[in-house]
């Protein structure tokens, strides 16, 4: 590791400048006092030891592009691409530098250039996210192919006898593909209506998690009902747009945000519940995303205030009554977008500690990113694997039977880590473990 001052930016040509409505704020950038407190918390700096793979280095590059000292060339953008957008640097920063929004704005301002000037890999990524993730029918078709792969036995072969024959990189990528053997969760309308309900909440179904992790939604609905909530799912809701924002496609993110605001407003609920930390963080920031749209700014602000992570919300309700025993050792991987973006760390721990019989065994760095970061594990496979290996070493020290987390992307990544290391552990959302305690209590 090095603690050197930021490398002097190297002037490049044939790059682009920041343009459009989302250019990073100079005032935000000037808050950085170059102290370097963020460096040891940054997974890409820890993995590479390079200043330009650190928050301070990337902020320096963004400042240099902003004031025209350099253009954003492919080399500069590679440094942006290697950022996980985990926002651990925000938690560490004594100067409250809003790194997450600076990086999102920088990406949006690159993508606001005319298409022929946008970096080719960014254009392809934005196209795929816009035309697959944001389109339910297309996404479902792709996932149906994945389901065929899982159910046909090909995936079992690839993870068993054929694994040794696959090139290492392909085997690693394969272990990141989820097992799609369960029936997807696509229910809408009223999902639970307990007679003693004292609140009415709406659930975000999300683009991927109901398809990949249906049990997470089923558990969420049962736990919310146990905590006295009527649960509905507005049928016209869409993908939250988080990955589009992270990829710099602010226009698609804004279009999705408007559709979700309209969908959830009509549900008339006390809170909008999200069980995926990345989606929740993005939805809590719809107010900023739509701040310049006079027709939507007020509605977005009201919407953002009503968004709650499921664990944040459940922890405020009477959830701990009639719980049965869960005799397991559990470790908790804080999802970056819960711990750093939403600053929620205590609620999942309070819930786990309330479960009889459960032993919570903390990692040394539970809030260090696992290397998932949306599509990062595919587009930055080597660095992601390096970060995951460090995470799995930390997990191994806890001897946990269950690795808990709060985000589907982390679940996928940690499952890949379990496969690669041959560890005997399950990966589950905290809400699924609480649901197990609720079911055990009901059987007594
Ligand atoms: S967001 Fe994460 S990976 Fe990116 S600079 Fe900050 S700490 Fe490092
Ligand atoms: S901790 Fe904050 S102020 Fe210090 S170098 Fe990092 S971003 Fe800048």
Indicate the burial class of 291 (C-beta count within 10 angstroms; 0-12, 13-18, 19 or more): middle
Per-residue model confidence (pLDDT) at position 315: 98
Identify the residue whose C-alpha is closest to ligand 2 atom 8: 32
* Three-class SS state of 444: coil
Q: Which of 49, 53, 77, 89, when mutated, tests ligand 1's pocket best, judged by the most ligand atoms within 8 Å of its CB?
A: 89
End-to-end CA distance of the chain: give it in Å, rounded: 54
pLDDT tens readout for residues 144-160: 888 888 888 888 888 88
Q: Is residue 303 part of a domain?
A: yes
Which residues are near ligand 2 (CB < 6 Å)?
32-38, 55-56, 59, 89, 92-93, 95, 97
In sequence order, the β-bridge partners of residue 274 are: 309
Q: pTM, whole model, 2 decimals?
A: 0.91
Last residue in a domain, options 174, 199, 216? 174
Of the candidates 210, 216, 215, the one whose C-alpha atom is nearest the C-alpha of residue 235 is 210
Q: Is residue 225 part of a domain?
A: yes
Determine which of 15-29, 66-80, 123-137, 304-318 has the lowest per-residue pLDDT on average.
123-137
pLDDT at 261 over 50: yes
* Same domain (yes/no): 102, 131: no
Determine which of 10-14, 66-70, 95-99, 207-211 has the lowest per-residue pLDDT on average.
10-14
| Ligand 1 atom with minimal separation from the 369 CA | 2
> Measured in angstroms, how far is the CA atom of residue 390 from the centroid of ligand 2?
24
Last residue in a domain, options 83, 114, 145? 114
What confidence tier does 443 reach under pLDDT thresholds 50, 70, 90? confident
Of the candidates 348, 309, 347, the one whose C-alpha atom is nearest the C-alpha of residue 430 is 348
**CA 157 – CA 150 distance, rounded (Å):** 10
> Measured in angstroms, how far is the CA atom of residue 249 from the centroid of ligand 1?
20
Residue 97 corresponds to which tokens in the numbers above? 């530098």
Mean pLDDT of 288-307: 97
Q: Which of 6, 28, 30, 38, when mutated, tests ligand 2's pocket best, judged by the most ligand atoms within 8 Å of its CB?
A: 38
391 CA to centre of own chain: 16
* Same domain (yes/no): 195, 310: yes
Q: Is residue 181 part of a domain?
A: no
pLDDT at 11 over 50: no
* Same domain (yes/no): 87, 201: no
pLDDT tens readout for residues 222-243: 999 999 999 999 999 999 999 9
> Measured in angstroms, how far is the CA atom of residue 88 from the centroid of ligand 1?
6
pLDDT at 2 over 50: no
What average pLDDT does the chain have? 92
What confidence tier does 175 reach under pLDDT thresholds 50, 70, 90? confident
DSSP string, 109-125: HHHTS-GGGS-HHHHHH
Q: Which positions ≥6 away from 425 have C-beta within 8 Å?
A: 395, 400, 401, 402, 403, 418
Q: Which positions ≥6 away from 413 have C-beta within 8 Å?
A: 176, 370, 371, 372, 377, 384, 388
Query: Is residue 45 a contact partner of residue 104, using CB atoms and an 8 Å limit?
Result: no
> Measured in angstroms, how far is the CA atom of residue 59 from the centroid of ligand 2?
9
Q: Is residue 144 part of a domain?
A: yes
| Ligand 1 atom with minimal separation from the 55 CA | 5
Last residue in a domain, options 92, 114, 136? 114
| Ligand 2 atom with minimal separation from the 56 CA | 5
Residue 389 corresponds to which tokens in the numbers above? 């290996």
What confidence tier does 106 reach under pLDDT thresholds 50, 70, 90? very high
**CA 196 – CA 241 distance, rounded (Å):** 35
* Same domain (yes/no): 350, 302: no
What confidence tier does 341 reach under pLDDT thresholds 50, 70, 90? very high
* Same domain (yes/no): 336, 286: no
Q: Is residue 10 part of a domain?
A: no
> Measured in angstroms, how far is the CA atom of residue 35 from the centroid of ligand 2?
5
| Ligand 2 atom with minimal separation from the 31 CA | 3
Share of the chain above pLDDT 70, in %: 97
DSSP string, 230-299: EEEE-TT-----HHHHHTT-HHHHHHHHHHHHHHHHTT--SEEEESSHHHHHHHHTHHHHTTT-TTTHHH
* Same domain (yes/no): 345, 406: yes
Quick one: DSSP state of residue 357? T
Measured CA to CA in angstroms, residue 184 lies from 7, 215, 224, 243, 405 at distances of: 49, 9, 20, 21, 20
Who has greater pLDDT, 175 or 94?
94
Q: Which of 3, 33, 94, 340, when mutated, tests ligand 2's pocket best, judged by the most ligand atoms within 8 Å of its CB?
A: 33
Mean pLDDT of 11-16: 63
Mean pLDDT of 72-84: 93
* Same domain (yes/no): 193, 301: yes
* Three-class SS state of 365: coil
- Closest ligand to C-alpha of residue 60 is 2
Rounded to the nearest 10 degrees, the angle between the axes of helix 99-111 and helix 250-265 is: 120
Q: Is residue 2 part of a domain?
A: no
The H or E element containing residue 78 is helix 74-81
CATH number at residue 341: 3.40.50
The H or E element containing residue 377 is helix 376-379
Place of tokens 């603690």: 3
CATH number at residue 274: 1.20.1050.140
CA angle centred on 380, ends 160 and 283, rounded to 5°? 105
**CA 357 – CA 326 distance, rounded (Å):** 5
Per-residue model confidence (pLDDT) at position 348: 98
> Measured in angstroms, how far is the CA atom of residue 64 from the centroid of ligand 2?
16
* Same domain (yes/no): 138, 219: no
Q: Is residue 209 part of a domain?
A: yes
Q: Is residue 321 part of a domain?
A: no
| Ligand 1 atom with minimal separation from the 84 CA | 3
Query: Is residue 370 a contact partner of residue 339, using CB atoms and an 8 Å limit?
Result: no
Q: Which domain holds residue 421?
A: 329-443
Mean pLDDT of 416-438: 96
* Same domain (yes/no): 281, 230: yes
> Measured in angstroms, how far is the CA atom of residue 416 from the centroid of ligand 2?
32
What confidence tier does 4 reach under pLDDT thresholds 50, 70, 90? very low
* Same domain (yes/no): 339, 384: yes
Identify the residue whose C-alpha is closest to ligand 1 atom 5: 55
Q: How many CB atoms lie within 10 A of CB 184?
A: 19
Of the candidates 170, 173, 220, the one whose C-alpha atom is nearest the C-alpha of residue 408 is 220
Mean pLDDT of 390-412: 96
| Ligand 1 atom with minimal separation from the 82 CA | 3
Which residues are near ligand 1 (CB < 6 Å)?
41-44, 55, 58, 83-89, 99
Mean pLDDT of 256-265: 97
* Same domain (yes/no): 252, 228: yes
Query: Is residue 290 a contact partner of residue 259, using CB atoms and an 8 Å limit?
Result: no
Determine which of 75-89, 156-170, 312-326 has the lowest per-residue pLDDT on average.
156-170
Mean pLDDT of 297-305: 98
> Measured in angstroms, how far is the CA atom of residue 61 from the centroid of ligand 2?
14
DSSP string, 7-28: PPPPP-SS-B---STTPPPHHH
* Same domain (yes/no): 109, 131: no
- Closest ligand to C-alpha of residue 41 is 1
**CA 229 – CA 223 distance, rounded (Å):** 9
Determine which of 7-21, 259-273, 383-397 has the lowest per-residue pLDDT on average.
7-21
**CA 295 – CA 304 distance, rounded (Å):** 16
Domain count, the chain: 4
Per-residue model confidence (pLDDT) at position 14: 66
Identify the residue whose C-alpha is closest to ligand 2 atom 6: 38
> Measured in angstroms, how far is the CA atom of residue 57 from the centroid of ligand 2?
10
pLDDT tens readout for residues 176-194: 777 888 889 999 999 999 9
- Closest ligand to C-alpha of residue 376 is 1
Measured CA to CA in angstroms, residue 321 lies from 126, 191, 298, 316 at distances of: 46, 22, 38, 13
């Amino acid at each position: 590791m090095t603690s050197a001052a930021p490398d002097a930016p190297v002037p490049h040509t044939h790059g682009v400048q920041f343009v459009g409505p989302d250019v990073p704020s100079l005032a935000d950038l000037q808050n950085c006092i170059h102290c370097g407190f963020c460096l040891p918390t940054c997974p890409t700096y820890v993995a590479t030891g390079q200043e330009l793979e650190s928050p301070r280095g990337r902020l320096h590059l963004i400042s240099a592009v902003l004031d025209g000292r350099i253009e954003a060339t492919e080399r500069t953008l590679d440094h942006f691409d290697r950022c996980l957008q985990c926002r651990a640097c925000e938690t560490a920063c004594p100067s409250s530098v809003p790194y997450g929004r600076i990086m999102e704005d920088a990406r949006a301002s690159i993508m606001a250039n005319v298409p022929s000037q946008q970096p080719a890999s960014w254009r392809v990524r934005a196209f795929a996210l816009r035309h697959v993730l944001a389109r339910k029918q297309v996404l479902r078709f792709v996932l149906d192919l994945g389901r065929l792969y899982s159910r046909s036995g090909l995936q079992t072969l690839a993870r068993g006898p054929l694994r040794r024959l696959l090139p290492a990189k392909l085997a690693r990528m394969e272990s990141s593909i989820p097992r799609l053997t369960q029936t997807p969760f696509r229910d809408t309308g009223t999902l639970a209506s307990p007679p003693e309900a004292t609140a009415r909440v709406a659930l975000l179904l999300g683009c991927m998690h109901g398809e990949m992790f249906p049990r997470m939604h089923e558990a969420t609905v049962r736990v919310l009902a146990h905590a006295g909530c009527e649960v509905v799912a507005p049928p016209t809701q869409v993908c939250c747009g988080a990955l589009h924002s992270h990829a710099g496609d602010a226009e698609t993110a804004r279009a999705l945000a408007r559709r979700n605001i309209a969908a959830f407003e009509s549900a008339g609920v006390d809170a909008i519940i999200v069980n995926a930390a990345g989606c929740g963080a993005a939805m809590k920031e719809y107010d900023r995303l739509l701040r310049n749209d006079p027709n939507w700014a007020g509605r977005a602000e009201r919407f953002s205030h009503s968004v709650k992570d499921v664990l944040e919300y459940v922890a405020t309700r009477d959830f701990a009554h009639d719980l049965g025993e869960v005799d397991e050792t559990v470790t908790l991987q804080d999802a970056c977008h819960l711990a750093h973006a939403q600053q929620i760390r205590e609620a999942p721990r309070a819930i786990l500690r309330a479960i009889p019989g459960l032993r919570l065994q903390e990692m040394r760095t539970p809030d260090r990113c696992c290397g998932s970061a949306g599509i990062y594990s595919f587009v930055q496979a080597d660095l992601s694997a390096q970060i995951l290996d460090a995470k799995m070493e930390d997990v191994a020290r806890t001897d946990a039977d269950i690795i808990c987390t709060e985000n589907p992307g982390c679940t996928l990544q940690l499952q890949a880590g379990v496969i690669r290391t041959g560890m005997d552990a399950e990966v589950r959302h905290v809400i699924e473990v609480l649901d197990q305690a609720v079911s055990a209590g009901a059987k007594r």
